[in-house]
Structure 1
Amino acid sequence: MTDLISSAPALAAAATHPDPAFPRFHPRPAQGWINDPNGISYINGRYHVFFQFNPESARHHRIQWGHVSSPDLVHWDEHPVALRPQDGGPDEFGCWTGVVTDDGGVPTAAYSGVRGDGGHSQVVISRGSADLVTWEQGGHIAASMPDDGLVTAVRDPFIFHFNGKRYAMQGAGLANGHAALLLYTVEDMSDWTYHGIWLTTENPVAATYTPAEIWECPQLVQVPSDGVGPDGVLSDGADTWVMMFSLWLSGDDHEHANGVGHLIGSLVEDPSTGLPVFVPRSGGRSDLGRDFYAPQIVQLGSGSSSGSRSTSVATPEPRALLWGWANEGPGRDGRRGRSQDEIDAAGWAGVLTHPRFLSVEDGALVVAPAPEVDAYRGPVLAAGASGAVDLPPFAEAVVTAGTVAGAGEVRLVLAAGAEQQVVFAGPLSEGEELRIFVDASLVEVYRKGSVATTLRAYPALGEEWILELPEGAEADVWELKLPE
C-alpha cells in the first residue's frame, strides 16, 4: 500500500496556488524546478511517475527525483523525494534520467549518476520498497563509461524486453558528430554487459527523422498498429516498435530546437549473435510544439515489455503510455514567455503533460490523451459553438470540421481588447478533429490521427482565452473540474 501518511493529494493544493499560471490538472509539487519524467511504472496497482526535481529553487540545480502516484491516472498523491544526490557517491552531482523496473519483485531504479568531480555519467542502481516510497541508495554502479574512444558522451538508460530477455540501451554522442545508441544485456540488474554501438545517425532513416549530436532519453516500445505501412501496403506481420529520442544539440540550454523525434520499425533477432536488431522504416516529429522534451514511455500489457512493465495487470496487446516535459519558455512564435526573474519570483518551473497513448496508423505515429482524463470534464459551457468562443483558464474544447469544401484555420489566442497573441494556429480540413486542453499556462492540442502539439503561454492581467473557428467548424467546450 502507498504510504499515504507521508503523502498528500497532488492536485487539490493547485486550486489555491497563488500563481494564476500554475496548472491545476497536471500533478507537480507546488514549488521548485521539475524536468524529465523518470521511472514511469505501473506496479502493484498504481501508476508511478518520478521526475527530475529541485525543491529548493526554480532553477536546474542539484537534481533529485520527485514522485507522484495514482491508482487511476486522475487522483494523484505526491510523495517525498525518492532519490537524492549522495555526498561522495557516483550521483553526487545529481540523480539524472532513468527508469524503474520490477526486478524479481523488488522495485529497482536504474539512472544516470555523475560524480561531484565531473566526468561521464554511470548507471547507478537503487532498490525501493514495495510501495516505491522509500529507497536504499548504496551507490552501486551497474554500467560505467564504455572503453571505446569513439563514444564521447553517454546518458539516460532505458530497459526493454524482447523474446523473453532483458536488454538496456543508453543514448550517446560519438567523436565523429553522430548520435548513437549503446546496447546492453541485463541478466543481472547489478551488472550490465556492454555489446557496443547499436544504431547511429549514419543510418539514413535515422539521419532523416532524428538528427542530433546526442540522442537523449532514448525509448523503445512495442505499440498497437493497424499493420498498414506509410505506402499503404500491409506489413509482413512483424510487430511494430517505436524508438523515440530527444534530439540534443550543443548550445540547446533547454531550448531544444530539434525537439523530439521517433523512428517506426521492427525488432528482429540477429541469427549469429542472438541480439536484437532494430530496423527503422519511417519516422517523424513526436510533438509539434517547441515546449516539449524528454518524454518517457511505460510499456503496459502482456507482450514484450519495457523495464517499467506492470506486475499486476495484463492486457490483450501491448500499450505504450507517455508523459513529456513542458518547460517554462522565454516566448516563441509570438507567444509571451517568462523571464528568469519572473520564474524565480513564481518559485516553480516545469510541468508534465497529460498521459498519452501511442499507436501507429497508416504507418505514422498517433498520439492521443489517455481516456482517463475525461474525468476532468466539468460543466458544459458550449455545444456546437461557432465563430469566436470564449474559454475559461481551465478548459477542454473538441473542435470538429464541417463539410464546407477546403480547409480553414483554428486559432487559440490570448486577447485583451484589440490586442492579442496567437498561442496556437493550425489547419482544420473536412473530417478532422482537434482536442484542445488549456490548463492555466499549459496548452495541449491533439489532432485525431496525428501527434500532439505542446505549448506554454502566460495570460497577462485582463487577457482572456478565445478559440477562433473557421467557417463550418463547431466546438464543444467543458470547464475543467477536479473529480471527487
Structure 2
Amino acid sequence: MTDLISSTPSLAMTAIHPDPAFPRFHPRPAQGWINDPNGVSYINGRYHVFFQYNPESARHHRIHWGHVSSPDLVTWDEHPVALRPQDGGPDEYGCWTGVVTDDGGVPTAAYSGVTSGHGHSQVVISRGSADLVTWEQIGHVAASMPADPLVTAVRDPFLFRFNGKRYAMQGAGLANGHAALLLYSVEDMSSWKYEGIWLTTENPVAASHTPAEIWECPQLVRVPSDGDAEDGGETWVMMFSLWLSGDDHEHANGVGHLIGSLTEDPQTGLPIFTPRSGGSSDLGRDFYAPQIVQLESPTAGPKALLWGWANEGPGRDGRRGRTQEEIDAAGWAGVLTHPRVLSVEKGELVVSPAPEVEAYRGPLLAEGAAGTVSVPAFAEALISGASGEVQLVLASGTERQVVFTGQMSRGEELRIFVDASLVEVYRTGSVATTLRAYPAPGEEWILELPEGAAASVWELRLPE
C-alpha cells in the first residue's frame, strides 16, 4: 500500500469504500489492520490520533503507527505512516502502544519497541516535525525492562503531570500473578528514572474492579467531577485494558477503571494514587485498548477525551461476525470509536460522545417515533420517554439477530450511533456500549421500543 499524501481527507475516502460494512464516520485507512489508538494529542491547533497499523494486510503483524488529524474532531485528514519497525532497531518487531507529547516545543513519541515475538519491550523515543507528519527514528531507548525479577512483562508507556512534575507509568505483569503499574520520573524525555512498582491488584479496590494478569494500556487523567467542589480535591480516573493469558483479541475482561485521588508522598515527593471505586469502562465485548488525552482550559478546567478500538472477529452474544477469510477478503480490520468525553457524576464514571459529532447529523428521518422504527445503515437515534427494554436488531423477513439489548429507566436517554458495522450506545449517567455487527444483504436495522418510548432518528451525512 502506498502512503497517502498528508492532505488526503480520510472520511471523504470512506464514503466510496466498496465494502458496505466499512464505517464512514470513524476515520481510518481504506485498507490494512488497525488496533490500539496511540499518541492521542492536541498540538498546534490540531487533534492527532495515531494507531497501531499494518498497512500490508488485515492481520495483526509488524505493527506501524498510522496517523489522522483534525482541527475540529469532525473533518479528518489521513497522513503518511508515522512510525515503522526499523531493521536491527529496538522496534524491529513492531512500534507498539505509546503516547505523543510536546517536549519543549518538539512533538515526541514514546512507545513500546520490541525486537522479537518473544522479546521484552523497551520505551523508544522518536522526535517529530511541527505538524507531526515526519518522524525521525534513531532507535533511542529511554527506559529498558526493570532489573526486578518480580516484573515479568512491561508495556504501553503513558505520561502524566502532577504538581508541576512529569511522570510516566507502564503496565506490567508480575511473577506472583498480579497485574501492576510501574512508575517513572521523567525530567528528561530521553532518560526515564524507574521509581518502582506503583500499584498492583493486591490492592482490594483494584482487585475488585480491574482484575487482570497484565494491566495493558494504562491511562491516568484528571476529570471533572460533581464531587470536587464538596471535598476541594481533584478526581483522577485510572483506566486499564485487562489482559488475561489466552486472550487473542477476545479480551473477556474488557476494560476497567479506578476512580480516586493523587497525593504527594511527604517522604519521597512521588505521587500516590488511592483508588476508592471503579467499574467497567465499556459494556460491549468489542471494546479494548482505549487512550485518553488530557486537555486543560484556564476557564473550564480539566477535560479528558477518549478513543477506543473496536475489533473485527467472530460474532459474540448471538451477533454474526466475520471469519478470518472474510476479513482477509475485505482487506481491512479494526475501527476506532468516536471521541468520548469523561466525567464523574455521583461517584460513577460517565462517558458521553464528544459534542462535535453532532455535526454528522443529516436529515431528520423520524421524530417521536414509537414501536418498531427503521434505522438506516448510517444513523443516530435518540430514545427517551419510558422505562422498559430497547432492542436494536438486524432483520430480513422472519430472520433477525439481536445486536443490542438494554433496559431503559424513565428519565434516561439512550443515544445510538450506527456506522455500517459499528454500533455505539451511550446512556445518560453511565458508560458506553461498543459493538460490531455485519448486515447481510437484504437486512435492515430496526429499533424496537418499549411502550411509551419515542425515538428521533437522523441519517448521518459528511460535512460539506
Shared topology, TM-score over 0.5? yes
SS at match of 2:180: strand
State the partner residue of 2:449: 469
From 242, 260, 270, the counterpart of 2:265: 270
Contact 2:313 2:324 survives alignment (8 Å):
no
Alignment CA distance shift 1:117-1:285 (3 Å): closer
Which one is further off, 461-470 or 113-122?
113-122
Matches of 2:367 and 2:35 in 1, distance apart?
Answer: 37
Contact 1:7 1:80 survives alignment (8 Å):
no
Q: Deviations over 1:317-370 (max 9, x none)?
A: 010000000000200001000000000000000000000000000000000000
Task: Please state how far the C-alpha of 1:108 moved relative to its aligned partner.
Answer: 0.1
State the partner residue of 2:101: 101
Identity of aligned residues (%): 84
Matches of 1:168 and 1:235 in 2, distance apart?
Answer: 29
Instruction: Kindly report structure 1 stretches of 4+ aligned residues shifted beyond 4 Å.
Output: none
Matches of 2:398 and 2:208 in 1, distance apart?
Answer: 42
State the partner residue of 1:121: 121
From 306, 322, 341, the counterpart of 1:322: 306
Alignment CA distance shift 1:18-1:61 (3 Å): same
The residue type equivalent to 2:269 in the other structure is: G
Matches of 2:6 and 2:340 in 1, distance apart?
Answer: 28
Contact 1:93 1:118 survives alignment (8 Å):
no
Matches of 1:151 and 1:51 in 2, distance apart?
Answer: 27
Aligned-pair RMSD on alpha carbons?
1.2
Match status 1:110 vs 2:110: yes
Task: Please state how far the C-alpha of 1:206 moved relative to its aligned partner.
Answer: 0.1
State the partner residue of 1:346: 330
SS at match of 2:233: coil
Contact 1:291 1:329 survives alignment (8 Å):
no
Task: Please state how far the C-alpha of 1:118 moved relative to its aligned partner.
Answer: 4.1
Task: Please state how far the C-alpha of 1:6 moved relative to its aligned partner.
Answer: 3.1
Matches of 1:140 and 1:37 in 2, distance apart?
Answer: 22
Matches of 1:465 and 1:478 in 2, distance apart?
Answer: 13
Contact 1:328 1:337 survives alignment (8 Å):
yes
Contact 2:98 2:112 survives alignment (8 Å):
yes
State the partner residue of 2:393: 413
Matches within 5 A, 1:71-150: 71-116=71-116, 118-150=118-150
Task: Please state how far the C-alpha of 1:5 moved relative to its aligned partner.
Answer: 5.3
State the partner residue of 1:459: 439
Match status 1:442 vs 2:422: yes
Match status 1:280 vs 2:236: no
TM-score scaled to structure 2, two decimals? Answer: 0.98
The residue type equivalent to 1:475 in the other structure is: A
Contact 2:11 2:25 survives alignment (8 Å):
yes
Contact 2:5 2:79 survives alignment (8 Å):
no
The residue type equivalent to 1:479 in the other structure is: E
Task: Please state how far the C-alpha of 1:117 moved relative to its aligned partner.
Answer: 7.1
SS at match of 1:132: coil
State the partner residue of 2:380: 396
Contact 2:422 2:437 survives alignment (8 Å):
yes
Matches of 2:212 and 2:329 in 1, distance apart?
Answer: 34
State the partner residue of 1:175: 175
Contact 1:125 1:139 survives alignment (8 Å):
yes
Q: Any gaps of 5 or more consecutive residues in structure 1?
A: 229-233, 303-313
Matches within 5 A, 1:322-401: 322-401=306-385
Q: Deviations over 1:437-463 (max 9, x none)?
A: 000000000001100000000000110
Q: Deviations over 1:245-299 (max 9, x none)?
A: 0000000110000000000000000001000000000000000000000000000
